[in-house]
Each structure stands twice: as structure tokens, then as C-alpha cells.
Amino acid sequence: VFQLSLPLNFLGSMYREMRQALTDMDSLFSLQNVSSQIKDAPHAKDLVWKGGEIRFENVSFGYHPDRLILDNVSFIIPPGQKTAIVGPSGCGKSTILRLIFRFYDVQQGNIYIDGQNIKDVTLASLRKDIGVVPQDTALFNNTIYHNILYGNSQATTAQVEAAARKAQLHETIQRLPKHYDTLVGERGLMLSGGEKQRVALARAILKDSPLLFFDEATSALDTHTEQAILNQIREILREKQRTSIFVAHRLRTIYDADTILVLKNGRLVEQGTHSQLLLQPSNQGVYRMMWQLQEMHHAEDSVLFDGKKES
Ligand code: ATP
């Protein structure tokens, strides 16, 4: 029995990890539309992570040949830094993440990770080391403990708890009827959108990947929790020198990025830090205009919300 149960346990955890990875990507990338034509090249080698630098070189891509989503786009995402991708809805921000995962091949140009063309590396080695914190994560019908553990089935109880603390989830869990043993998911306790985002974050912290994607990862959180979590994420990323890419609508969540890439109509129109991008002349500057518009709304919202303007 012992001999049999060991490999079965192992297979079970492999299965769960794979299912989790697929589920996270599913919600982020709607896999049902992904073609299965992407396969390992015959000569493919495993990706060797160094610092985690990503380079797009003259990349053009469209889901349909007659409509380019990215048009000759080149940029470098520096290793160990926070990069944000911003731009109007539908401009191709999430598409960039999908291309790095190689869910699709580019029509022109090349994408390199640490100098290796992603077409020449094995898909498994590419995808296993990318952590994703999606907007909406799926929960399994299991305890909240196990839902966090999916990030890394080898983790100890102490590590799970530490990850939950960093994701501002520990206190919430302490208030649940059975604490970490509370069943969640469809057949258990339903978690709110913000709680699910914090589970996703705790998983990613536990997974500890060299490359992290945050796709509108804090959109369901209240401002206070969001700020607390963003501070935590900032600390973790800085401490571990992880490369991170944030896709965001609300510029207040990314203004501290080391590099902000601004996309519009399929092209990279601006890049720089927040203060560099704000220096654009007032009648130009896509980022500057987006920022001013959002700040205006923010001021209006806070007047409406608590009767006085936030400082
Ligand atoms: P948002 O800010 O609204 O999330 P985005 O900038 O992340 O948008 P993408 O999700 O990258 O935009 O989509 C870019 C464009 O490609 C959109 O016009 C979208 O409709 C289209 N698109 C996305 N996925 C597919 C697909 N699987 N098949 C065809 N078109 C797609």
C-alpha cells in the first residue's frame, strides 16, 4: 500500500499543480481560443533563467492576419525591475503577456528571455517559472490552506502562513469559522473578489517565480488594502530582485514602476518613468493625459465619497 500510495500522491500533486497553472492562465488568457499549433521546436532546450530580462524585437502580431494588434513593437523589460504596461482598453496589454507565455507565435520579430529566443526553448521550461496573479482566480473545493498551497505543494505550514500574511490574508483567515481549514470554493465558503485576489497573490508568493505577471491583480481591493498589498509586493520584488510586469488601468497602482510602457493603436508610443512621462508638453503625452484624466476623476470621487477632497 505504501509503495503504491507514494507515486499516486506524487501524481496527484503534479496533477493539481498542472490544473492550477492551467486554471490561472485560463482566466487570464481564455485558453479556449488558443491554438494548439504551438509545439516545442525539434532542437528546443530548457530555458535558463539568468536575471529575467525580456526583449521584444520588432514584434508584430494579430489574432487574425487582417488586424494587427502589435505593430513592430520593440522594448526591453529590464531584469529585477517593475515594468508596467498601460494604454487604452484593447490596445494589446494582455496580448504581450500571452506572447511571453508563447500561447501564440509572433508573426514577425522575436521575443527573448535572458537572450534566448522563446521559440527555441521548451514550452514547459518557459511556463513553469512564470507566476501569474490574474484579475480573477479560480478556487478549488478544498480548504483555504490547500488553495494557497497550490502555489507550491512542497511548502511548509509556516511558509503558507507567511505567504498569507504578506498577501494581507492571514487576519481574514483567522476570522473564518475553521481558520485555515475552512472549505472554500463553490461547495464551501464563497470568497469575495478581493479575497480571491489575495489568495492568488499568496500562491504567487509561495511559488516564488523569477518572472511575475500582475494582470489587474488588485482591481477588486479597496484602496486601503490595495495600497498595503502593493507595498508588500514592492518589498518582495525588491528583496528578491524579481522581474515583474504589471498590466493596469489605474495608474495610481503603477506610477512607481521603474519603466512604464505606453501602448496605443498597436504601437509603443512612450516609455519612461512616471515623472519622465509627465514632462511631455501639455498638448502631447498619452500617459500625461491619462494621468490627468484619472486624477480628475479621483478628486471627484473622493469629494463624492467622503464630502472632502483627499490630499
Ligand atoms: P483591456 O485593457 O481591455 O484588458 P488589453 O489592452 O489587455 O485590453 P488585449 O486583451 O491584449 O487588450 O486585446 C487586444 C485586442 O485583441 C482586443 O481588440 C481584443 O478584442 C483582441 N483579442 C484578444 N484576444 C483575442 C482572441 N483570442 N482572438 C481574437 N481577438 C482577440
pLDDT tens digits, one per residue of 38-93: 889 999 999 999 999 999 999 999 999 889 999 999 999 999 999 999 999 899 99
Between 223-240 and 193-207, two packed helices, what is the crossing angle to 10 degrees? 10
Is the shortest distance between the CB of 97 and ligand 1 below 6 Å? Answer: no
pLDDT tens-digit profile of 124-177? 999 888 988 888 788 888 999 999 998 898 999 999 999 999 999 999 999 999
Q: Is 39 helix (H, G, I), strand (E, B) or coil?
A: coil
* Mean pLDDT, residues 100-129 taken together: 94
User: Which residue's alpha carbon is at the smallest distance from atom 27 of ligand 1?
Assistant: 33
Out of 93, 214, 262, 269, mutate this one to test ligand 1's pocket (max ligand atoms within 8 Å of CB): namely 93
- Least Cα distance to 199 among 179, 176, 172, 224 occurs for 172
What's the CA gap between 300 and 297, in Å, rounded?
5
Mention every residue, 6+ apart, whose C-beta is less than 8 A from residue 156: none
Model pLDDT, residue 310: 42
Please state whether beta strands 82-86 and 243-247 pair in parallel, antiparallel, or not at all (unpaired): parallel
pLDDT, mean over the chain: 85
User: Which residue's alpha carbon is at the smallest distance from atom 22 of ligand 1?
Assistant: 63
Full-model pTM: 0.83
CB atoms within 10 A of CB 258: 14
Query: Counting atoms of ligand 1 from 1, which one is nearest the CA of 64?
Result: 29
Please state whether beta strands 82-86 and 267-272 pair in parallel, antiparallel, or not at all (unpaired): unpaired
Measure 288 CA to ligand 1 centroid, in angstroms: 23
